[in-house]
Amino acid sequence: MLRACKLTKIFCDIADINLIKKFNNKKIVKGFTTNPSLMRKAGAKDYSNYSKEILKITKKPVSLEVFADDIKNMISQGNKISRWGKSIYVKVPVTNSKGMFMGKVINTLNKNNIKLNITSVYSSNQTKQILKKINKKTKVIISIFAGRMGDVGKDPIPQIKKSIKFSKNYKNVQILWASTREPYNYTQAKQLGCHIITVPPAIIEKIEKFGKSFQNLTTDTVKGFLADTRKSKFKL
């Protein structure tokens, strides 16, 4: 049986400066997640300077990702990024591009008391691996890519449920629903007991409209059809 979590926090998954300014003012948004792809899409040229601009806008938690592909440089980048501000969670992929588990990176940064967001996680077995490399004191987020699992026909729910179960004795660990695809994912994350869900801006705006009755939804839908019919000047 699923147990609803009333405390599932919403983070905004974005790197665009103007959108961060906008969504930082929303009470519903409790933090921000970024990644190298979002940074590139936002037009970032200098990773350090762009990240520091984000940190000037918000005091809420911000996840900033290392982009090296080897252990030594991941550790170096993680240490450097962590010094930019107290609100930072250093994002580290659970493996590098060759599929090698980044346990040494996770363990080293964790021992340095650096808050981490372990990303690109897909299985509860990966969650187990991560938990073996961390202490029970320094804050760690484990980001499970639910939406991307669904994209290839895999059910993310069992992996998230097991991950929550495995981490229940780690009070410093939060399970995050990542790669959100639709507003209902927020409801699912709450039902599972996820601590956090990270959500694109457009979906956050839809979540803010939660609570409409079926009748209101029907009326709004029909009004939309009618408006488009009149704009098109359809006749029979």
CA distance 36 to 135: 27
Give a yes or no: residue 1 inside a domain: no
* Residue among 188, 168, 171 nearest 179 (CA): 188
- Write out pLDDT tens, residues 48-88: 999 999 999 999 999 999 999 999 999 999 999 999 999 99
* CA 75, chain centre distance (Å): 22
Give a yes or no: residue 219 inside a domain: no
Domain extent for 98: 9-211
Question: What is the model's pLDDT at position 2?
Answer: 40
Give a yes or no: residue 2 inside a domain: no
- Write out pLDDT tens, residues 28-39: 999 999 999 999
Give a yes or no: residue 82 inside a domain: yes
Catalytic position from the list 91, 115, 133, 190: 91
CA distance 225 to 220: 9
Q: What is the reported pTM? A: 0.92
Give a yes or no: residue 216 inside a domain: no
86 is catalytic: no
Give a yes or no: residue 220 inside a domain: no
CATH of the domain at 204: 3.20.20.70
* Residue among 46, 49, 48, 50 nearest 16 (CA): 50
* Residue among 104, 108, 114 nearest 64 (CA): 114
Question: What is the model's pLDDT at position 7?
Answer: 85
CA distance 116 to 142: 8
Give a yes or no: residue 86 inside a domain: yes
Which residue numbers in the chain have pLDDT < 70? 1-6
DSSP state at residue 101: B
Give a yes or no: residue 158 inside a domain: yes
Judge contact between 34 and 14, C-beta under 8 A.
yes
Q: How far is CA 17 from CA 57, 196, 204, in A?
A: 8, 22, 17
Residues 70-93 as b or e (16 or more Cβ within 10 Å = b): eeeebbebbeebbebbeebbbbbb
Question: Total structural domains in the chain?
Answer: 1
